[in-house]
Structure 1
Amino acid sequence: MPSTDGISSSEDLLANGILRVSVWVIAFITCVGNFLVIAVRSLIKAENTTHAMSIKILCCADCLMGVYLFSVGVFDIKYRGQYQKYALLWMESVPCRLLGFLATLSTEVSVLLLTFLTLEKFLVIVFPFSNLRLGKRQTAVALASIWVVGFLIAAVPFTREDYFGNFYGKNGVCFPLHYDQAEDFGSRGYSLGIFLGKFHL
């Protein structure tokens, strides 16, 4: 059983009541809020349809994080009071790895989409009379490319387990936090690369 890491304890996947409540509240707000935005954007006709499409896609990416948080909450209930017996099995399981993949996909796609939307607005403001705006087809290609890139970033750790180890199974919530994994250079280096990439974006 791994030592307590501030997230999980020897008894519970989520170590304290504040974490448990926060996971459910944030998951609910994330899913409901983004579904409402998608619904409103779909019902109300927008003048800028490409921007509306980008916002709806961003909401979809954010909803994945809500699904991840709901799932963590469910597994916390499942292992409540007996997490110590199942900790290693859980962290090495397929559901844990899939949840880690889902969380990484959500964060990467969200960051890339926000960068795309920022650049789009920048061009409109700085060059208001130019033809630098993307059309509907180009926007669709850009959005699809962002999802592909996000998927690849999240999937890379599955390709070389001898190098990355159990990338998504280092903690109970299956999120790739490798700040204290000095012996696992591959996982730590990849996590650092992702973090620095987000920081520069």
Structure 2
Amino acid sequence: MANLSHIYFKKFQYCSYAPHVRSCKPNSDGISSFENMLANILLRVFVWVMACVTCFGNLFVICMRSFIVTENCQHAMSIKSLCCADCLMGFYLFCLGAYDIKFQGEYNKHAQAWMESWECKVVGSLAMLSSEVSVLMLTYMTLEKYFCIVFPFSHHRAGRGQTLGALLAIWGLGFFITVIPFFSYETFGNFYGRNGVCFPLQSDSSERSGARGYSIAIFLGLNLLAFVTIVFSYSSMFYSIHKTGAKTAERSVLSP
């Protein structure tokens, strides 16, 4: 082992255990590197840019929606709730940027401790909560529009209490999805600490089957279902609007 010149590990962090080896691969996992939590300058810059745009843009919308009087206050409530969920993602990006600066130049020394820390788990769970609540919120708002446009006379408009109940249910479901991995370490392992950015994309076959199955169920199951629902709803809305417009134009031509 003392004469070893080349070595290849499953994870780049293991290279720190063989400092005498001249060529140790991989140097990065695509996100992090030996030196930095965010491997390249493009990632580091855009984390801060997107964090600022996400937080300040959504806070601006919340303020504007709070001060401008609107007739459809239920829709305004949904918009503000969606902005709150997106703000959590902005906070998550700010945290990544801050920890990247903290570990700059020596990330590999702190990588394992960081991924196993409670800070990483909290940051990762905030990102999970933000993404899932945003997806569910967009699906709910799309279905509201769908029923209003496609079934304008038979659809019962939700009141303030019903809308508030739906929003609370969405946040509750998002929180439940987020905290489930904390209940069983044997099943999920370190669910939010498998990479430097603490986002739970468990796609590797070597990961625990429970964690991998849960990630697939959320990101390729629930989110895909929401995407299909949104696409179908908007397609039906455009078709209904086109059909109504065609009938209106036909009647105007036939009328004397």
TM-score, structure 1 length as denominator?
A: 0.97
Deviation string 1:90-116 (CA, Å, 9 cap, x unpaired) is: 000000000010000000000000000
* Residue 67 (str. 1) matches residue 91 (str. 2): yes
Q: CA deviation at 1:131?
A: 4.4
Q: CA deviation at 1:133?
A: 1.4
Aligned residue number for residue 199 of structure 1: 224
SS, match of residue 190 in structure 2: coil
Distance (Å, rounded) in 2 between the aligned partners of 1:183 and 1:59 = 33
**Aligned pair in 2 of structure 1 residues 70, 181: CA closer, same or farther (>3 Å)?**
farther
2:135–2:223 contact (8 Å) kept in structure 1: yes
1:123–1:133 contact (8 Å) kept in structure 2: no
Could you tell me which of 133, 142, 147 is aligned with 1:109? 133
Could you tell me which of 146, 171, 189 is aligned with 1:165? 189
Paired AA for residue 198 in structure 1: N
Aligned residue number for residue 202 of structure 2: 178
* Residue 15 (str. 1) matches residue 34 (str. 2): no
Distance (Å, rounded) in 1 between the aligned partners of 2:29 and 2:50 = 21
Seq. identity, %: 57
Distance (Å, rounded) in 1 between the aligned partners of 2:207 and 2:142 = 38
Distance (Å, rounded) in 1 between the aligned partners of 2:154 and 2:57 = 35
Q: Which has the higher contact order (CA 8 A, sep 6+)?
A: 1
Q: How many residues align?
A: 201
Aligned residue number for residue 28 of structure 1: 52
Distance (Å, rounded) in 2 between the aligned partners of 1:181 and 1:77 = 32
Paired AA for residue 225 in structure 2: H
Aligned residue number for residue 243 of structure 2: none
Distance (Å, rounded) in 1 between the aligned partners of 2:193 and 2:222 = 22
* Residue 76 (str. 1) matches residue 100 (str. 2): yes
- 1:89-100 to structure 2, matched below 5 A, reads 89-100=113-124
Q: CA deviation at 1:128?
A: 1.3
* Residue 43 (str. 1) matches residue 64 (str. 2): no
Distance (Å, rounded) in 2 between the aligned partners of 1:183 and 1:110 = 27
Aligned residue number for residue 170 of structure 2: 146
* Residue 134 (str. 1) matches residue 158 (str. 2): yes
Aligned residue number for residue 190 of structure 1: 214
2:148–2:155 contact (8 Å) kept in structure 1: no
Q: CA deviation at 1:129?
A: 1.8
Alignment RMSD (CA, Å): 1.0
1:54–1:143 contact (8 Å) kept in structure 2: yes
Runs of 4+ aligned residues of structure 1 deviating over 6 Å after TM superposition are none
Distance (Å, rounded) in 2 between the aligned partners of 1:5 and 1:75 = 18
Deviation string 1:114-140 (CA, Å, 9 cap, x unpaired) is: 000000000110111234211100000
2:147–2:155 contact (8 Å) kept in structure 1: no
Unaligned runs of 5+ in 1: none
Deviation string 1:39-94 (CA, Å, 9 cap, x unpaired) is: 11111101100000000000000000000000000000000001010100000000
